[in-house]
């Protein structure tokens, strides 16, 4: 399985305490910035295991205990890195309250990121909700490389859709039609595939969205890379907790064999 | 502070708990730094079984108060896959290799142990006796007399150091340790995880794909300390203590109640660098501090 | 949501864990409010023994990760003192009284149970079988056959509901529950505390005056859930579940794996109002919210 | 044992979440103020079990878990109450960082306080270190009642001795002589007893100091009330964890039989 890691940016061995530089609101989300100038430069799609350096624990049900996985959403030239947070439980709650100057324990960058576009290949970057996080850094790389692409994002409503600004000026769909197309982002993808059936897809978002993307791409016969999520204890392949079944019935570990996987590997995204 | 353990000379008393550190995956993730700063003085493999196992269906993890329940289900390539695929690479690690094996009965265990005995790259063998007996449903290791019989059966199959990893889910862990000793074990290790479960917050069915799982982490530390103390007071063979160790103070506690070595398990999930820091603190070596830049 | 439990009609399914709520001391501290807002649907006394006991020398407490170890040592006035001094006052509580007793052997237990049987103020009897057997050092309750014999012996001494409080420090708690059932128990309760210990940070000797103690609180919740589920799946008699309950969700978990009643233990130490809130949440009654002014 | 409680102010049944109004430095200590206008008025010497309403846990060794016992150090007419904190471990560390507006979970007032001075009785109020906390509210009561008293306080050094201001202008001893008398506060007490052998003593402080006070008072034949400390799980008599041996070998529960006890009950303070 080390094969999967060929060429991936390596993580420092052991977690590092980074300083929070900013904690910004981004629609319904928070953007947590840390100074990681001394750390390895991540590839788009990689993630980190993070925890508050102090007071990690003592929340609801005496949690959190384990670190939490977050996509690296952006990395600036000055070494600042951003995580995009949706407050869904005790871990994200604690992370959302971190202030400038406080410490963040970070292990990473981890996992297998998106592959670069093949020469001449046009990409559709498709995301939903907080799943847009790894697509921001991916888009940064595509822009830097001058790679042709279209960005399609889906959100619940206007407040959540404010986060679309993270990726400049993408095409947006909202469930309630308050911004952009009313409906699913996968409808935008299907329209795009009509226009350009030779697209390759890079996607991240909630499982139903990813499953729809997978099914659409399979039908259209276009290659898709999906950034998966799974509950993780370690993030570096040691606990075997983050498995997802492959098409052949064996399990892949999302943290080392993913989080970005070829859609073909999966029977479906659950 | 090098430690003699059953004839092996180890640089310090800190190992990994079986199944809590995958050195091969870690090579992929951390690269050469892993070998340069390898945190354990011996490396314990995850549990190997005769046949390959896929492990349990997900979800496999539940976060508990100060701990986690795992129901991984011992995924592994099986004995043949281990020998062919993993062993050659594990043999390259900078420390001695301890292979952990589990079988459903004495005969399976004997076969696994004999196969390990034949491998020069394997320095010692750990028996995981937390496997449920097919007839009783209880862990083989939970009944002293059954455990002694198993140990006697496998002892003959190897001259390598034989470590018996006791189950904590028993009335009298010291009696189990004594049974392992009289069955010929060279050492015992404990504690394995405590049987535990959780319900799906919405459906109310069992959360874990495997139904039950095992609790590890800080929550079990004081239980581990009591069990290790009871065992060390009872047997003459060396004891490897583990359970919830997060710091050198916790390791020191286990050593002070009589453990010869200490294993770090779940805490490596939170920070794979922690075992190295603990070892450095125990041996007085300059420890790699927590810092923002990767250490190279 | 009144509950029938062994012929007693209880207002809701929340009790206290034995030894975790002293209603007499609480009267002194909280006054009449205690009776007005009494949080438990039945009150379980702390463990009473034949002879008075002073309890263990201090320190008796150690704070663990998400839990606490206690080594209180069952201080109590002894059977006679209990009957004369405590019972008349406990009889004034607004709920049925369950008296918890422990003896070193079946004969002691029989005597205690017979004495309770004679008291009208006692609605039910709970046997604490976590007492170490003098010969083996193991809890009487950890061996199913020994436990069955004890239950048979005391069963004859009372027609009141007999609850056996199982020890969790055993290989097969469901087998112990089944033994209690066939010994004539009307119900079982679990889990008691997990054997645990701690060292003095400086002297390295055991911290607790009693040497070992028992772990309770959130740390043991998922272990309790697994044990209660295993027991409820095995026996036909009602099960009282406890261990780390802090909220109505935790109580709901225990009920959903088959408990009939749920006891709140250590969490009452942190907030004596919590059991009342849990009961209200379970029954849908308007709960007393957390607020700055005392509720009267 | 309910006898001990006769006439003591009762606690509300269940903990209450109070708002922190101030967190002030006081020499080496912190003074944490909460708004308890709606709560029962405590007697001097009573204490409360307190915990941060949020993030109680996740500190060193995943502690704190239990609430912590603190003397009620002062109660103002507006209902503000103060606790005096010395940061010695994970519980006090967390409490020390609480800010105005945050919540404090409070159970109390608990325990048996100091008895009022008998008619015409002159009191020596003797304290050391953070043990001066219950003496502040005691002194407030003595002043309000016009009861004659002298206040003698001991500290390690100048920084700690700054806390003496909490009690107005007491006589102070410091170990290093940086403020007031160089030596032990018990030396001040002995001098005072020379002058007035019919004093009654109220004391709180570290065990060695209390033991010295006990021994001095026993020798001088003057009555002393000592405010004890013991590790507590509950604070209301339920856990039996806080015991201290009486002279007769039986145990008293510091939380309900104390914290203030007649020195005569004890063989020694350990
Ligand atoms: C590779 C990867 C990248 C990710 N990137 C991002 C990102 O960029 N931004 C982002 O916001 N999120 C991201 N996530 C998701 C994020 O890791 C989770 O939202 C976070 O771990 C939730 O933690 P929590 O404590 O807030 O919530 P939890 O309480 O952990 O809740 C999360 C879910 O876990 C389950 N759950 C509830 N209780 C428990 C329990 N006790 N034990 C186990 N499971 C439980 C429930 O299904 C619940 O919905 C990513 C995840 C992965 C794997
Ligand atoms: C009635 C009463 C009134 C008090 N009033 C005040 C007051 O006004 N101001 C004030 O500052 N303090 C007061 N205290 C003391 C205060 O309660 C303690 O300082 C506090 O509980 C310490 O908690 P901690 O988590 O900060 O430290 P802890 O880590 O709990 O350390 C305190 C001591 O406990 C021991 N210890 C260490 N680890 C553990 C463990 N895991 N489990 C159990 N014990 C351990 C050690 O001996 C250590 O020195 C009072 C105590 C009582 C009983
Ligand atoms: C995810 C996970 C997987 C484990 N796998 C194994 C295993 O394969 N074989 C084994 O003997 N023990 C296994 N264990 C038990 C650990 O080796 C160790 O005994 C236990 O976790 C207690 O230590 P800790 O609290 O430090 O984690 C596993 C534990 C965890 C958490
Ligand atoms: C301080 C303390 C004292 C206890 N005393 C008794 C007792 O006297 N008899 C008994 O059967 N159980 C006793 N218990 C066990 C509890 O009743 C309960 O089984 C256990 O604490 C688990 O529940 P919890 O996690 O909610 O505390 C005691 C527990 C504690 C913490
Ligand atoms: S998160 Fe541990 S193996 Fe993937
Ligand atoms: S602190 Fe619980 S009885 Fe005193």
Digit-coded pLDDT (tens) for B140-176: 899 999 999 999 999 999 999 999 999 999 999 999 9
A6 — pLDDT class (breaks 50, 70, 90): low
Q: 10 Å Cβ neighbour count for C100?
A: 24
Distance CA(D225)–CA(D210), nearest Å, equals 10
User: How many angstroms separate the alpha carbon of residue A239 from the centre of ligand 3?
Assistant: 9
Q: For a substitution probing ligand 1, which of B62, B65, B198, B206 has the most ligand atoms within 8 Å of its CB? A: B62
**pLDDT of A177 higher than 50:** yes
C296 — pLDDT class (breaks 50, 70, 90): very low
Number of the ligand closest to the Cα of A229: 1
B138 — pLDDT class (breaks 50, 70, 90): confident
Chain A residue numbers touching B294 (CB-CB < 8 A): 11-13, 16, 38-40
Do the Cβ atoms of C180 and C203 come closer than 8 Å?
no
Of chain D, the percentage scoring pLDDT greater than 70 comes to 98
**pLDDT of B290 higher than 90:** no
Closest CA to A121 of A175, A23, A200, A30: A200
Distance CA(C135)–CA(D34), nearest Å, equals 55
Digit-coded pLDDT (tens) for A257-266: 999 999 999 9
Interchain CB contact of C202 with D (< 8 Å): no
pLDDT at residue D98 in the model: 98
**pLDDT of A234 higher than 60:** yes
- Mean pLDDT score across all residues of chain A: 96
The finding on whether A253 has its CB within 6 A of some atom of ligand 5 is yes
A119 — pLDDT class (breaks 50, 70, 90): confident
Residue A16's contacts (CB-CB under 8 Å, 6 or more residues apart) are: A39, A105, A106, A107, B290, B291, B292, B293, B294
Distance CA(B123)–CA(B97), nearest Å, equals 5
Q: Enter the DSSP assignment of A207.
A: H
Of chain C, the percentage scoring pLDDT greater than 90 comes to 91
- Length of chain C equals 296
Asked if the Cβ–Cβ distance from B199 to C256 is below 8 Å, we say yes
Distance CA(B219)–CA(B194), nearest Å, equals 10
User: How many angstroms separate the alpha carbon of residue C130 from the centre of ligand 6?
Assistant: 22
- Burial class of D101 by CB neighbour count within 10 A (0 to 12, 13 to 18, 19+): exposed
Chain A residue numbers touching D58 (CB-CB < 8 A): 54-59
Give how far Cα B118 sits from Cα of A62, A117, B112, C97, D190, Å: 47, 49, 10, 65, 80
Q: Which helix (H) or strand (E) holds B264?
A: strand B261-264
- Burial class of A101 by CB neighbour count within 10 A (0 to 12, 13 to 18, 19+): exposed
Q: How far apart are the first and last CA of chain D?
A: 23
What is the DSSP track for B209-252?
TTBSEEEESGGGHHHHHHHHHHHHHH-SS-EEEESS--SHHHHH
Number of the ligand closest to the Cα of B17: 3
The finding on whether A255 has its CB within 6 A of some atom of ligand 5 is yes
**pTM of the prediction?**
0.97
Give how far Cα A246 sits from Cα of A111, A228, A243, A253, B70, Å: 17, 12, 9, 10, 21
Digit-coded pLDDT (tens) for D241-269: 999 999 999 999 999 999 999 999 999 99
Q: What is the mean pLDDT of residues A65-78?
A: 98
Lowest mean pLDDT among A1-10, A19-28, B19-28, D4-13: A1-10
Do the Cβ atoms of C129 and C139 come closer than 8 Å?
yes
Torsion of CA B82, B87, B93, B97, to 10 degrees: 80
Distance CA(D254)–CA(D260), nearest Å, equals 8
pLDDT at residue C240 in the model: 98
Q: What angle do CA D211, D215, D220 make, to 5 degrees?
A: 145
Q: How far apart are the first and last CA of chain B?
A: 24
Residue D134's contacts (CB-CB under 8 Å, 6 or more residues apart) are: D44, D45, D46, D47, D71, D72, D73, D113, D114, D204, D227, D259, D260
**pLDDT of D147 higher than 50:** yes
Digit-coded pLDDT (tens) for A122-174: 999 999 999 999 999 999 999 999 999 999 999 999 999 999 999 988 999 99
Beta bridge partners of A152: A126, A171
- Burial class of C165 by CB neighbour count within 10 A (0 to 12, 13 to 18, 19+): buried
pLDDT at residue C131 in the model: 75
Asked if the Cβ–Cβ distance from C34 to D13 is below 8 Å, we say yes
- Length of chain A equals 270
- Burial class of D213 by CB neighbour count within 10 A (0 to 12, 13 to 18, 19+): buried
User: How many angstroms separate the alpha carbon of residue C207 from the centre of ligand 2?
Assistant: 15
pLDDT at residue D50 in the model: 98
Do the Cβ atoms of A103 and A90 come closer than 8 Å?
no
Asked if the Cβ–Cβ distance from B221 to C65 is below 8 Å, we say yes
More confident residue, A7 or B216: B216
Chain A residue numbers touching B54 (CB-CB < 8 A): 249-251
Give how far Cα A37 sits from Cα of A41, A96, C135, D15, Å: 9, 22, 65, 46
Q: Which helix (H) or strand (E) holds D151?
A: strand D149-155
* β-pairing verdict for A243-245 and A224-227: unpaired
C286 — pLDDT class (breaks 50, 70, 90): low
pLDDT at residue D251 in the model: 98
**pLDDT of B50 higher than 50:** yes
Q: What is the mean pLDDT of residues B239-243?
A: 98
| Active-site residue (options: B6, B116, B131, B151) | B131
Nearest CA in chain C to B171: C170
Give how far Cα D261 sits from Cα of D6, D109, D226, D250, Å: 14, 17, 5, 14
pLDDT at residue B13 in the model: 98
pLDDT at residue A148 in the model: 95
- Burial class of A160 by CB neighbour count within 10 A (0 to 12, 13 to 18, 19+): buried
Digit-coded pLDDT (tens) for C197-232: 999 999 999 999 999 999 999 999 999 999 999 999
**Token pair in block for residue D247:** 């002279």
Digit-coded pLDDT (tens) for B211-223: 999 999 999 999 9
- Identify the residue whose tokens are 């170490």: C132
3-class DSSP state for residue C44? strand
Closest CA to C165 of C99, C118, C212: C99
Q: For a substitution probing ligand 1, which of B29, B63, B205, B269 has the most ligand atoms within 8 Å of its CB? A: B63
Q: What is the mean pLDDT of residues D8-32?
A: 97
CA atoms within 13 A on the CB side of D48: 36
Distance CA(C273)–CA(C281), nearest Å, equals 13
Radius of gyration of the CA atoms of chain C, in A: 18
Interchain CB contact of B12 with A (< 8 Å): no
Annotated active-site residue C6? The verdict is: no
3-class DSSP state for residue A129? helix
Q: CA of C135 to nearest chain D CA: how many angstroms apart?
A: 28
D12 — pLDDT class (breaks 50, 70, 90): very high
Q: What is the mean pLDDT of residues B174-180?
A: 98
Digit-coded pLDDT (tens) for D190-208: 999 999 999 999 999 999 9
C130 — pLDDT class (breaks 50, 70, 90): confident
Distance CA(C98)–CA(C93), nearest Å, equals 11
Q: CA of B44 to nearest chain A CA: how many angstroms apart?
A: 12
What angle in degrees, to the nearest 10, is found between the helix axes of B106-117 and B144-155? 40
pLDDT at residue B139 in the model: 81
pLDDT at residue D4 in the model: 42
Distance CA(D180)–CA(D152), nearest Å, equals 11
């Amino acid at each position: 399985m080390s094969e999967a890691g060929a060429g991936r940016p390596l993580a420092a061995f052991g977690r590092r305490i980074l300083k929070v530089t900013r904690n910004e609101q981004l629609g319904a989300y928070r953007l947590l910035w840390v100074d990681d100038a001394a750390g390895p430069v991540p590839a788009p799609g990689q993630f980190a295991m993070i925890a508050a350096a102090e007071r990690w624990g003592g929340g609801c049900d005496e949690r959190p205990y384990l670190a939490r996985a977050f996509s690296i959403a952006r990395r600036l030239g000055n070494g600042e890195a951003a995580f995009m947070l949706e407050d869904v439980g005790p871990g994200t709650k604690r992370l959302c309250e971190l202030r400038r100057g406080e410490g963040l324990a970070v292990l990473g960058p981890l996992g297998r990121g998106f592959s670069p576009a093949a020469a001449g290949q046009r990409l559709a970057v498709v995301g939903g909700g907080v799943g847009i996080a790894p697509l921001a850094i991916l888009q940064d790389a595509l822009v830097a490389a001058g790679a042709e692409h279209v960005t399609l994002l889906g959100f619940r409503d206007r407040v959540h859709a404010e986060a679309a600004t993270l990726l400049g000026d993408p095409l947006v769909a909202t469930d309630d039609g308050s911004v952009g197309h009313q409906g699913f982002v996968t409808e935008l993808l299907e329209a795009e595939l009509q226009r350009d059936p030779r697209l390759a897809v890079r996607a991240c978002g909630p499982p139903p969205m990813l499953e729809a993307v997978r099914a659409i791409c399979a039908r259209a016969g276009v290659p898709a890379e999906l950034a998966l999520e799974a509950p993780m204890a370690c993030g570096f392949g040691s606990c075997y907790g983050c498995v997802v079944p492959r098409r052949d019935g064996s399990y892949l570990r999302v943290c080392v064999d993913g989080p970005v996987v070829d859609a073909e590997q999966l029977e479906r995204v659950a | 502070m090098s430690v003699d353990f059953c004839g092996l000379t180890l640089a310090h008393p800190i190992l990994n708990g079986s199944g809590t550190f995958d050195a091969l995956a870690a090579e992929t993730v951390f690269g050469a730094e892993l070998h340069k700063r390898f945190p354990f003085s011996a490396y314990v493999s995850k549990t190997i079984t005769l046949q390959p196992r896929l492990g349990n269906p997900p979800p496999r993890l539940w976060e508990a108060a100060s701990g986690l329940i795992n129901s991984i289900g011992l995924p592994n390539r099986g004995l043949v896959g281990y020998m062919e695929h993993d062993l050659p690479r594990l043999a390259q690690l900078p420390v001695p290799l301890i292979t952990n094996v589990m079988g459903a009965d004495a005969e399976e265990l004997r076969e696994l142990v004999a196969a390990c005995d034949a491998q020069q790259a394997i320095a010692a063998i750990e028996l995981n006796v937390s496997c449920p007996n097919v007839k009783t449903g209880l862990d083989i290791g939970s009944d002293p007399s059954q455990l002694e019989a198993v140990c006697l059966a496998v002892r003959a199959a190897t001259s390598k150091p034989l470590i018996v990893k006791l189950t904590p889910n028993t009335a009298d862990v010291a009696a189990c340790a004594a049974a392992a000793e009289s069955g010929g074990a060279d050492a015992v290790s404990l504690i394995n995880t405590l049987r535990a479960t959780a319900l799906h917050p919405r459906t109310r069915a069992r959360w874990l794909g495997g139904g039950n799982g095992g609790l590890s982490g800080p929550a079990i530390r004081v239980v581990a300390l009591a069990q290790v103390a009871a065992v060390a007071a009872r047997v003459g063979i060396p004891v490897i203590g583990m359970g919830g160790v997060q710091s050198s103070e916790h390791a020191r506690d286990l050593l002070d109640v009589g453990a010869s070595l200490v294993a770090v398990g779940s805490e490596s999930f939170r920070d794979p660098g922690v075992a190295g820091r603990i070892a450095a603190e125990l041996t007085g070596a300059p420890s790699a501090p927590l810092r923002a830049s990767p250490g190279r």
